[in-house]
Amino acid sequence: MAHLDKFSDPNVTAKGEARARVALTHPETLWFNTGTLCNIECVNCYIDSSPTNDALVYITADEVKDYLQQLLSRNWPVREIAFTGGEPFMNPEMIDIAECSLVAGYEVLILTNAMLPMMRKRVKQGLLGLNAAYPGKLTLRISLDHFDRANHDTERGKGAFDKTLQGMNWLRDVGIRMHVAGRTVWGDSEASSRAGYSALFTQNGYDIDAFNPGVTVLFPELDERAKVPEITTACWGILDKDPNSLMCASSRMVVKRKGAARPAVLACTLLAYAPEFELGTTLQEAEQDVALNHPHCAKFCVLGGASCSA
């Protein structure tokens, strides 16, 4: 057999072993990328969001409604519609998009840095209206990379920590449910990291459970250059890992590429630019199995045990 590079063949590994695949067995979350434009530029953003990156353009409320209708016609038992970016509140239709998802009966999760885009008067009024009309259905997951100001600002820029806490204080005061997404790049143990977040939440009166991994989500760093093993079909038994626990067994993500006529459905929220993880333009096409043919599949999901959904 000819030599293969790692992660080059969707069917076999570099050693010629059968590559692991994951079936969409229990769709629970449908993700939408609202666009890659962001009000800030982080040092290590997995999707390279910035004030100038519009590789993924703003998705519209009508496009989201089309996929919500597809959920019904395909009979996917989805409970949650989730939105990431970029910064979702940069999208001028974000409130309308969230509303149509709530009207359709789904829980809504919005990932945000809780900074200026969320704090505009129109957006705040929209969030207040949605939270009042659909109590218990709306959650904002705040990107708070670390419980320490200096570490957070190292990633997101000087003053970012205080601006995010201003947004969180507003959400606290108006009673909109918050979750938090942090990072593990600083080498804290999980126990010490959760203790640090817990102290911060208590100090500020945030009703956020730092010890619940579905509420305070700690993400490993994503480095495509990292040396990670390929996942074979034998790994499920070796690692005592259930393929149904991976994100691609329970979710898909919709993106709209710049210049594209219509959105596309991807296997994963982490691989927006990898063409081999684009499954088609419809949910029906996206029901196919996913080959774990990327370093993120191994490091983040299989070995790291992380998930973007609660």
Three-state secondary-structure class, residue 201: helix
Does any domain span residue 8? Answer: no
The answer to whether residue 181 sits within a structural domain is yes
Peptide bond into 136 cis (omega under 30): no
Report which of 100, 108, 101, 196 is spatially closest to residue 145, judged by C-alpha positions.
196
pLDDT in tens, 150-163: 999 998 999 999 99
Residue 310 lies inside a defined structural domain of this protein: no
Determine, yes or no, domain membership for 16.
no
Q: Please report whether residue 295 resides in a domain.
A: yes
Which tokens hold the place of 82?
């989730």
Q: Whole-angstrom Cα distance, residue 289 to residue 105?
A: 27
The structure's pTM equals: 0.93
Give kind and range of the element (H or E) at residue 159. none
Q: How far apart are CA 55 and CA 38, in angstroms?
A: 12
User: How many domains are contained in the chain?
Assistant: 1
Which residue, chain included where needed, has tokens 């790291």?
304
Return the CATH number at 228: 3.20.20.70
- Residue 9 in any domain: the answer is no
**13 lies in a domain?**
no
Give the DSSP per-residue string, 22-44: E---S--EEEEE--SB-SS--TT
In tens, the pLDDT along 225-268 reads 667 888 899 888 888 889 999 889 999 999 999 999 999 999 98
**pLDDT tens digits, residue range 17-41?**
999 999 999 999 999 999 999 988 8
Q: Which domain holds residue 258?
A: 21-303
CB 178 within 8 A of CB 208: yes
